[in-house]
Chains A and B, each alone.
Chain A
Amino acid sequence: MTTNSKNEYLTTKESEFVKVIKDNEGIIYKIARMYTKGSDNMNDLYQDIVYQLWKYFDTFKGESKRSTWIYRVSLNTAITQWRKEKRKGQKVDIEHLFLQKEDDYDDEFENRLKLVYAHIKKLDPVEKGLMLLLLEGKKYAEIAEITGFSASNVGTRISRIKKKLKEQIIKDHDHDTR
């Protein structure tokens, strides 16, 4: 069955999927950038996440929020890339698609963003995932639902991460001013 609402060549399922991805492309970008080094690896992971979301699209049962499911699949895909090898097969060129294309995009913002990512990338995989969700403005209960930790454990772990980041920032600052 096809629909003409989005694109006459897409099936209903494909149109629905395209909408979900478009609504959440920012989340995928942020996760792909957090778990990789370099734009090539980021593009690979971005595409892998989209592919995994498509692969498991039918398994989403609506028991949780769609965004919760997207965070889960994206984070799980990111942590299970066990080797940063060049991926094979068809590759879609999505380079320079994000952020840099914007007219008012400035280098100063990119530098600040790089610094944020640099701090987060120093965290271990558990902390990285929690920090991402915290920065996304998620409440502890939602972070618990996405990650599988208890809400109280999320709280304890986030306090530890904040402390660690603070120390890391001070250390980096001291190093820069020396």
Chain B
Amino acid sequence: MTLDEMQNVWSEMTEKLENQKQLTDTLIMEMTAQKFRSKIGKISTFESAGAVICFIAAIFLAVNFEKLDTWYLSASGVVVIGYLIFVPFLVLRSIYKMKGINISGNTYKQSLIDFAKRRKHFLLLQRTAIILNFVLLVLILPVSSKIFKDKDLFVDNADLWYWYIPVMLLFLIPFSKWGYTSYKNMTASAEELIRDLQTDPS
């Protein structure tokens, strides 16, 4: 197939579509009545569900915070609650911003730049979250153990740390490495797109 042939096929399709005119008034207006979907669809379901779980966990920890009766358990509790609130909040904010591009006013170029920049920001956030997950997984164990079983793992079961951290790292490192590399590659391609688009002097 040559470029001319592509052009011919395209013109033929345009002509066929022009002759068809399939949409009815009702069908078109039904498509516009999607405000419900649009409102829910503003933020991705997966991230929203994750955020709700994190917020519930944060509230639960806050309610039971008095059980964390040593300075190190309190400090761990503060870090875990902070993580459970701020990380999902920042991720959701980032997604929301990505969806908030001016579809009507922007040119194609501007939308591509805006989208690539916001995507880059989102990916950087995801990369940071991967690293922070390690901290969370270390701290959540003593905090939850104290709240649920009234057991201070730093004192009562110090041996646990010798196997818990290596086992956790064994599972987490390959997964995180894969996730981190994927996000890194996607960020790089977003950066490349921004660079390319910004070379046009217009």
Chain A contact residues, CB within 8 Å of chain B:
6-7, 10, 14, 17-18, 21-22, 25-26, 29-30, 47, 50-52, 54-56, 59-60, 69, 72-73, 75-77, 79-80, 82-83, 85, 87-90, 92, 94, 97-99, 101-102, 105, 109, 112-113, 115-116, 119, 124-126, 129, 135-137, 144, 146-150, 153, 162, 165-166, 169
B14 in the interface, Cβ–Cβ < 8 Å?
A: yes
A107 to B7: give the CA distance in the assembly, Å: 18
A25 lies within 8 A of B108 (CB): no
Q: Does any Cβ of A come within 8 Å of B37's Cβ?
A: yes
**Cβ of A162 to closest chain B Cβ, rounded Å:** 6
Cα–Cα, bound, A119→B7 (Å): 12
What is the predominant secondary structure among interface residues of chain A facing chain B? helix
Q: Using known A-B contacts A29-B17, A30-B17, A50-B31, determine if residue A148 contacts B107 with beta carbons closer than 8 Å.
A: yes
Main SS of chain B's interface residues?
Answer: helix
A50 with B32: CB separation less than 8 A: yes
Interface positions, chain B 51-106, Cβ under 8 Å from A, are 95, 98-99, 101, 103-106
**Closest approach, in angstroms, between the C-beta of B47 and any C-beta of chain A?**
10
In the complex, the answer to whether A92 meets B30 with C-beta atoms within 8 Å is yes
Chain B residue at smallest Cβ distance from A143: B108
Name the B residues within 8 Å of A90 (CB-CB).
30, 33-34, 36-37
Residue of B nearest to A94 (CB): B27
Instruction: Give B181-202 as 1s and 0s: 1 = Cβ < 8 Å from A's Cβ atoms.
Output: 0000000000001001100111
Q: Is B18 an interface residue (CB 8 A)?
A: yes
User: CB distance B16 to A150 under 8 Å?
Assistant: no
Measured CB to CB, the closest approach of chain A to B30, in angstroms, equals: 5
State the CA gap A146–B106 with chains docked (Å).
9
Task: Tell whether, in the assembled complex, residue B9 and residue A146 are in contact, meaning their CB atoms are under 8 Å apart.
Answer: no
Chain A residues near B120 (CB-CB < 8 A): none
The yes or no answer to B45 lying at the interface (CB within 8 A) is: yes
B108 touches A76 (CB 8 A): yes
**When the two chains form their complex, are residues B104 and A89 in contact, meaning their CB atoms are under 8 A apart?**
no
For B7, list chain A residues within 8 Å (CB).
135
Cross-chain contact of A112 among B1, B3, B95 (Cβ < 8 A): B1
Please determine whether A87 and B3 come into contact, CB atoms closer than 8 angstroms.
no
The smallest C-beta distance from A102 to any residue of chain B, in angstroms, reads 6
